[in-house]
Amino acid sequence: MTSPATDHPDLLNGFVPFPPERARQYRDAGYWTGRPLDSVLTRAAATWPGCTAIIDATQRCSFAELEQAADRVAAGVAALGIADGDRVLVQLPNSCRFAVTLFGLLRAGAVPVLCLPGHRAAELGHFARVSGAVALIIADRIAGFDHVAMARDLVADHPHLRHVVVDGDCGPFLPWSTLTDAGAAIAPRPPIDPSRPAVLLVSGGTTGLPKLIARTHDDYLYTATASAAAYGMTAQDTYLVALPAGHNFPLACPGLLGSMTVGAATVFTADPSPENAFALIDRHRVTVTGLVNALAKMWAQACAWEPVPPTSLRVVQVGGSRMSPDDARFLLERLSPGISQIFGMAEGMLNFTRPGDPLDVVMHTQGRPMSPHDEMRVVDENGAEVAPGEEGELLVRGPYTLNGYYRAEDANARSFTSDGFYRTGDRVRVFTDGPRAGYLEVTGRIKDVIHRGGETVSATDLEDHLHTHPGIRAAAAVPLPDAFLGEKICAAVVFAGRPITLSELNAFLDSRGVSVHLRPDVLVALPSLPMTAVGKVDKQRVVRSVTG
């Protein structure tokens, strides 16, 4: 049995491990296997050496080739003096090189900090400072943005970033070949304590800078293995990474890592537009993918005119933000009968509807917990458990949910209960009977409310109504300061065609019998809603674009 690691004091400084008693339960239950995260590659290369592992726009390689490439990168990483336990920021577009880099770092014992392509100097600087990273691996440009110029500023501000390796035109930094052409194989890595951090993910919140989430070898391998099993994945499946590959959803839920646990191939695309994605799905006979709501809707609409609709898909997971039953129906009818709602978080806990679940469950719930050992509590504003079936904040604890953010004592004091439950900030209700029993519905974020006069208005409720208007393509309800009311309700709307007026909108809400408390005071037309790095509506930026 492994004991808490005593080596790598620097890596472990500010890491909150699982308490020993719960860790023992998870090992006894067989969820935690004690293997390092890169064992998914070792096993796949031994079991399915010649099968396709990864594909992108320019290359394809088998599991054996992926392992060789990762070992070469591991040697390059070691030759740079990057040691076991060192953190390395990775910001790469969706490509085979993302997978090779990830596994190369893991093989070298380094801990990848998985940044998303949309992150900028503010976020990367924060990740560099908090993690104490020694290196940065980037592409020269992603979607027209100059990452080399950004890296120049970063290294000036963060001298502990000793190396920058660039895929592409590297300017003053090291070329990609530094990683691949170091030559000598590295000495076999000492066995890794599976309870230590394997990767650092970034939190998905839209308030403040993202926090770092240390996922352990044990817990992350379990996430990948158990989610692939729950979706019935086999070596015959092919997974498409359409969201940013460093995000938990396409990385391990089941994503790249889950696919690898069963010998399935993974296709990467940096262009998730329906035209491009549908062609790829058709060419590679993709069977499983994961999408955020806005992208899923775009794909569903495009099915009406694209020449090759994505018929090989057997599972389309949709999550990241709330989906109304109407939207779920639309996706089921237009995109795929294999829609699965998934409610997850980089912090760990996953809920999803399973293949074969009744339509009612798929339309009206965000799934049920992945693990029998996921513990949920639904509490009121005083922290007391609500009656079964009532709404409240979801608190969770379990075999793959973090026990504290990395190096974030203040946030941890707020975000965890004394007995180790993570306060998700999500409002949910857990159904108690009928076919939905045990499944949950996410009704909003506890903080996503507007305090108008004496009323507390749920932004989600209003958005659900707004989305039923045929002339509205997308909408966000946000608070605006108001001298008299405290906050007033603003509906920021992307119109599908001719804009409608506030009085027309209110007449429409009237006709739906919507409560007067839920009426917008202000209606603002936007060309598009600002999105986070993974493609969720960024409400803080909505407010900023409305207030100018």
Contact segment (CB under 6 A) with ligand OOB among 35-43, 233-241, 345-353, 400-408 equals 345-353
CA 164 from chain centre, in angstroms, equals 25
Of 111-119, 164-172, 336-344, 501-509: span binding ligand OOB (CB under 6 A): 336-344
Asked if 321 interacts with ligand OOB (CB under 6 A), we say yes
Position closest to ligand OOB via CB: 204
**Can residue 345 be called a binding residue for ligand OOB (CB under 6 A)?**
yes
Q: What are 264's two structure tokens?
A: 């399935």
Of residues 524-543, which lie at the interface with ligand OOB (CB under 6 A)? 534
Q: Which of 249, 405, 421, 439 binds ligand OOB (CB under 6 A)?
A: 249
- Binding of ligand OOB at residue 114 (CB under 6 A)? no
State how beta strands 422-430 and 141-142 pair: unpaired
Of 75 and 243, which CB lies nearer to ligand OOB in the complex structure? 243
Contacts 24+ apart (CB under 8 A), 446-454: 446/393, 447/207, 448/539, 450/477, 450/478, 450/479, 450/487, 450/488, 450/489, 451/479, 451/486, 451/487, 452/479, 452/482, 452/485, 452/486, 452/487, 452/488, 452/489, 452/517, 452/521, 453/485, 453/486
> Does the footprint of ligand OOB cover residue 222 (CB under 6 A)?
no
Cβ 508 to ligand OOB shortest distance, Å? 25
CB nearer to ligand OOB: pick between 173 and 400: 400
User: Is 147 an interacting residue with respect to ligand OOB (CB under 6 A)?
Assistant: no
For the segment 386-445, give every residue that binds ligand OOB (CB under 6 A). 424, 426, 442, 445
- Tell which one of 254, 320, 369, 392 touches ligand OOB (CB under 6 A): 320
Q: Which two tokens stand for residue 390?
A: 């009532």
342 binds ligand OOB (CB under 6 A): yes
By C-beta, is 182 or 318 nearer to ligand OOB?
Answer: 318
Nearest to 283 by CA among 262, 264, 311: 311
The footprint of ligand OOB on this chain (CB under 6 A) covers a number of residues equal to: 22
Examine residue 295 and tell whether it contacts ligand OOB (CB under 6 A). Answer: no
CB 476 to ligand OOB: min, Å: 14
Cis peptide before 254 (omega within 30 of 0): yes
Which among 161-169, 173-181, 316-324, 465-473 is the span making contact with ligand OOB, rule CB under 6 A? 316-324
Q: How far is the CB of 252 from ligand OOB (least distance, A)?
A: 8
Exposure string over 150-187, b if 16+ CB within 10 A, otherwise e: bbeebbeebeebebbbbbeebeebbebebbbebeeebe
Q: How far is the CB of 315 from ligand OOB (least distance, A)?
A: 13
List of E strands, 116-250: 135-139, 141-142, 145-146, 163-167, 174-175, 197-202, 212-216, 238-241
Which residue lies nearer to ligand OOB by CB, 76 or 320?
Answer: 320
Site string for ligand OOB, 167-206 (x = CB under 6 A): ------------------------------------xx--
Per CB under 6 A, which of residues 34..93 are in contact with ligand OOB? Answer: none
Per DSSP, the residues of 310-366 read -TT-SEEEEESS---HHHHHHHHHHT-TTEEEEEE-TTS-EEEPPTT--HHHHHH--
CB of 433 to ligand OOB, least distance (A): 22
- Closer to ligand OOB by CB, 72 or 119: give it: 119
Interactions with ligand OOB, residue window 442-471 (CB under 6 A): 442, 445
CA distances from 427 to 179, 319, 444 (A): 45, 15, 5
Q: Looking at 95, 131, 366, 403, which residue binds ligand OOB (CB under 6 A)?
A: 366
What minimum distance in Å lies between the beta carbon of 444 and ligand OOB? Answer: 8
Helix axes 293-302, 274-284, angle to 10 degrees: 80
Pairs from 322-329 (Cβ < 8 Å, separation ≥ 24): 322/293, 322/366, 322/442, 322/443, 322/444, 322/460, 323/293, 323/366, 324/464, 324/467, 325/363, 325/364, 326/467, 326/468, 327/293, 327/297, 327/467, 328/362, 328/363, 328/364, 329/363
The number of C-alpha atoms within 13 Å of 186 and in the hemisphere containing its C-beta is 29
* Least separation in angstroms between CB 445 and ligand OOB: 6
Residue choice 176, 343, 405, 422 for contact with ligand OOB (CB under 6 A): 343
Minimal distance in Å, beta carbon 3 to ligand OOB? 30
**DSSP classification of residue 211:** P
Task: State yes or no: residue 344 binds ligand OOB (CB under 6 A).
Answer: yes
Q: Tell me whether residue 522 or residue 543 sits nearer to ligand OOB (CB atom).
A: 543
Is residue 322 close enough to count as binding ligand OOB by CB under 6 A?
yes
Minimum CB distance to ligand OOB smaller for 135 or for 474: 474
Write b or e for each residue in 262-271: b if 16 or more Cβ atoms lie within 10 A of its Cβ, otherwise e: bbbbbbbbbe
Q: Under a CB-based contact definition with an 8 Å cutoff, are residues 247 and 534 in contact?
A: yes
Q: Does 253 bind ligand OOB (CB under 6 A)?
A: yes
Binding site for ligand OOB (CB under 6 A): 203-204, 248-249, 253, 319-322, 341-346, 350, 366, 424, 426, 442, 445, 534
